[in-house]
Structure 1
Amino acid sequence: MIRSLERAGIAALVTAALFAAPLVLAAPAAHAAAGRPAGDDVYRTWFTSHSRCVAEGQGGIDRGHWEHYTCSEGDWFWHLWTNR
């Protein structure tokens, strides 16, 4: 009985890994889909919410790290771009 439970657990893990594989492969496309908002802007990082992206972008302005920022929407995340 323990062997059958072990095999069922392994089968469940393999199935989950196979279903997750397309999501892992699709992740770089989400970054590429965001595009470069303007000229020589620099990609900083991604956020799960627009409000967090805006807060970090504005925080960079307040600290003097950059003059402007853009939060572009990707397939799964918001991407922060800055001028420096």
Structure 2
Amino acid sequence: MISSKTEKKIIREFNETNFECMIVSKIIPFSPDLFFIPLGRIYGFEYQSGYRYEIKVQVIHLANPPQDASNEIYKLKSVLSKEKVD
């Protein structure tokens, strides 16, 4: 689930730059954690503020990621729902 709002975060993997991030909740059993993905980092997904999304993604783990980058790439598989939030 992706929140209808974004938040500025410092992400160490990307050289500690202040990014505008999507707020994501993992829908995985026993994992209620929130995490933050910079806007534009889910390939094929175009985020619109004011909407809450449920999406399906493919997570690709990189064996040798670039030095200042994450070891995971997110790729959109499908948008399951898009709901306007007031």
Establish whether TM, by shorter chain, passes 0.5: no
| TM tier, smaller | under 0.3
User: Structure 1 or 2: larger helix share?
Assistant: 1
Structure having the higher Rg: 1
Q: TM-score, normalised by structure 1?
A: 0.21
